[in-house]
Structure 1
Amino acid sequence: MKNEVNLTTEDIIRSIPKVLLHDHLDGGLRSQTVIDLASEYKYNKLPTSDAGELAEWFHRGANKGNLVEFLQGFEHTIAVMQTKEALERIAYEMMEDMKKDGVVYVETRFAPCFHTTKGLYYEDVVNAVLSGLDKGRSDFGVGYGLILCGMRNMKNTLEIGELAVNFRNQGVVGFDLAGEEGGYPPKRHVEVFQFIQRANFNITIHAGEAFGKESIWQAIQWCGAHRIGHATNLKEEFTFDRDGNIVGFGDLAQYILDKRIPLEICLLSNLHTGAIDKIENHPFGILFKEKFRVTINTDDRLMSNTNMTKEFMTAIEYFNLTLEDVEKITINSMKSAFIPYKERLKFIYDVIKPGYQKTKDELLSLKI
């Protein structure tokens, strides 16, 4: 006898455990929160005070096909993230949103240098975010790590790297280099990366999103990146035969494959920023098939109108992923997280694997 339960693929994907490694805190605010904080702090530059209209405005503005215009919406989100209370609220709500999306562990990131216009010190900024994340973990049971971003067009990246290391025992798990790639190669910031390496700390770098494979090469071989954010232009390293079948990789892609360097893939964001022209042309399909250490991520949830469920649904639609594939990618992500090895294992064996097995058992029971 069949159980009369109609589960959609989206229901299943939302319910299973997921891991998110590339998420920008200032790109994932709730539109209503932006409106609330703008009213509270007398910020009057928002285009509308209707939450639905504002969400659509952010998404429409981000979906212009180039990174520079994509980033313009951050003027408004950052403007309302200038007090301890606002930062704590936004971090807390992010954790609640993760819980609703089935995310069991998240590494969120932001650049402290953008949150000091009302007089906060860097330490105040980081402590406020960590306070919100801690409360969120307590209330929603979602694990987290915080990554601090230095900006590639600024000269204070060493200071941010030192800040990250100073907070390593309070929840900060890594350092990232973010911002526009063109004209700002990662090797200009080699001093901060040498500092991070000598402190035995963790590095991820935005590379190969709006610039070529050279950016990825510099991130790894000059700066010692342990993970790469986006890596979309690694596709320049693929060699195809006349029928479009992959027949080989360049030295950089082979190195990334052999060394199991994790790639933080952001499908919808790459479409919105123009890194790809359409989803089916994203290198993710080849990277996954060829056994690269790929992870699926959201990047900027508000700007791209996305979450982890939607990102996986996109991958399922365009690249024919199975539930087993989604589980493999989720375990890839957890293996690649910047928390200690034993903590990663605990998530994999106590949370992720049992969660997927429970779902498989439920699906099997529906077929009996």
Structure 2
Amino acid sequence: MNDSDRTAAGAEQHEPDAALLDQVRALPKVLLHDHLDGGLRPATIVELAAQTGHPLPESSPDALGAWFVRAASSGSLELYLETFAHTVAVMQTEPNLRRVARESVLDLAADGVVYAEQRYAPEQHLAGGLTLQQVVDAVQAGFAEGVEQAAADGRTIRIGTLLTAMRHADRGDEIAALALANRDAGVVGFDIAGAEVGFPASRQASAFRTLRDASFPATVHAGEAAGLDSIAEAVHLAGACRLGHGVRIIDDVHDELDADGPRLGRLAHWVRDRQIPLETCPTSNVQTGAATSVAEHPVTRLKRLGFTVTVNTDNRLQSGTTLTRELALLVQHAGWTPADLRDVTVAAAQHSFLHHDERTRLVVDVIEPAFTAATGGRHRA
């Protein structure tokens, strides 16, 4: 992807240099917000679309990859979501779902991701005649193949699956039941996604009640296209353990100062006091208009104010990005240090939907030793 394509994505014109990217790529990373149908390889889309007869806007992988970034950079979440018509179209059979899941794991492992929670909406993959359970089985098989192949290549990665219900489809109860039925088969959480404005979390209230009664965690897309009311519903009605994006909580951080710094509103206090993690996605948030630039992205200010923040990719294809690139952009354009990178990596591990003992082992055995070795124990640039 060339510089003009990157600029079209809403990212700064100057990309991180190769040395910085190599340094960040070598660090262990934890990814909590990554959509399976937003991370396909362009070459895979071209090949699978040719097999199914699905028309594409571009015929070569390079041109198609650049098209996805341009098309997703409209400044509107609704238009951004339209790009998924092409990825979902090639994910309607068991072999295709397995392939996409396997390749996603391999791409994440190559980027230095050691734990990822990948999310997708099973209801979007039924056009080829699969049942919801067959969709889950195919994706889990692909994840397992990817983990095994990554290990053979000398890379260790673990995948947790989040099942997503689409806000507009009102199938939340069905997808919640599906998630619970697969909670011992790799599914670790539930999510709702899609157009945020006009489709509040309250439409899925019964699904969230079922999940809470079953002690099953949920994250909710909120505070991206919609504002504080959406975040309030996510944390108070849905009982979200994390907020997908959540950047609009900055609207409740006010310019006037009190004794402790900027004055926080009641909702901002609630989110910060309870350390509800924000799954921020800098490049994607710029593309959809939730942030003006990576340099000015609210994640940096929110982190400095004591909110729990994590850094994520959202949709690697639509944003032309990787987790390495997202973190390197924050280093280059927002002044982040290795200590900041360590903080968000540990925060992501500690707020994953793994069990507590598994999170602790991930931090103690994998993340901390690698950061210590890379920085001489100083965690400084």
Which bracket does the TM-score occupy, shorter chain normalised?
A: over 0.9
Q: Secondary structure at the match of 1:82?
A: coil
Could you tell me which residue of structure 1 aligns to residue 76 of structure 2?
66
- Deviation at 1:306? 0.6
Q: C-alpha separation between the residues in 2 aligned to 1:219 and 1:362?
A: 38
Q: Structure 2: which 5+ runs fail to align?
A: 1-16, 151-155
Could you tell me which residue of structure 1 aligns to residue 119 of structure 2?
109
- Which of 271, 280, 292 is the equivalent residue of 2:307? 292
Q: Secondary structure at the match of 1:154?
A: coil
Could you tell me which residue of structure 2 aligns to residue 249 of structure 1?
264
Is 1:352 paired with 2:362?
A: no
1:58-137 to 2 correspondence within 5 Å?
58-137=68-147
TM-score by length of 1: 0.94
TM-score by length of 2: 0.91
Q: Taking every aligned residue pair, what percent have the same amino acid on both sides?
A: 39
The answer to whether the 8 A contact 2:296-2:334 is kept is: no
Q: Secondary structure at the match of 1:146?
A: strand
Q: Which amino acid aligns with 2:90?
A: V
- Deviation at 1:241? 3.3
Is 1:24 paired with 2:17?
A: no
The answer to whether the 8 A contact 2:172-2:204 is kept is: yes
Q: C-alpha separation between the residues in 2 aligned to 1:167 and 1:46?
A: 34
Q: C-alpha separation between the residues in 1 aligned to 2:72 and 2:207?
A: 30
Q: C-alpha separation between the residues in 2 aligned to 1:291 and 1:323?
A: 17
Is 1:8 paired with 2:23?
A: no
1:143-292 to 2 correspondence within 5 Å?
143-241=158-256, 246-292=261-307
The answer to whether the 8 A contact 2:102-2:145 is kept is: yes
The answer to whether the 8 A contact 2:170-2:203 is kept is: no
Is 1:332 paired with 2:347?
A: yes
Q: C-alpha separation between the residues in 2 aligned to 1:362 and 1:254?
A: 33
The answer to whether the 8 A contact 1:238-1:246 is kept is: no
Q: C-alpha separation between the residues in 2 aligned to 1:275 and 1:237?
A: 15
Q: Which amino acid aligns with 2:108?
A: M
The CA deviation string for residues 332-355 of structure 1, in whole angstroms up to 9 with x for no partner, is: 000010011111111111111111
- Deviation at 1:290? 1.1
Q: C-alpha separation between the residues in 1 aligned to 2:287 and 2:302?
A: 20
- Deviation at 1:362? 10
Provide the aligned C-alpha RMSD in A: 1.7
- Deviation at 1:64? 0.9
Q: Structure 1: which 5+ runs fail to align?
A: 1-5
The CA deviation string for residues 147-197 of structure 1, in whole angstroms up to 9 with x for no partner, is: 000011112110001000110000000000101011111112110000000
- Deviation at 1:39? 1.4
Moved over 4 A (4+): none
The CA deviation string for residues 47-102 of structure 1, in whole angstroms up to 9 with x for no partner, is: 12200000001011001111111111100000000011111111110111011111
Q: C-alpha separation between the residues in 1 aligned to 2:93 and 2:18?
A: 43
Q: C-alpha separation between the residues in 2 aligned to 1:363 and 1:82?
A: 48
Matched residue pairs, number? Answer: 356
Q: C-alpha separation between the residues in 2 aligned to 1:8 and 1:281?
A: 24
The CA deviation string for residues 90-146 of structure 1, in whole angstroms up to 9 with x for no partner, is: 111011101111100000100000100010000000010001111112221211100
Q: Secondary structure at the match of 2:275?
A: coil
- Deviation at 1:280? 3.0
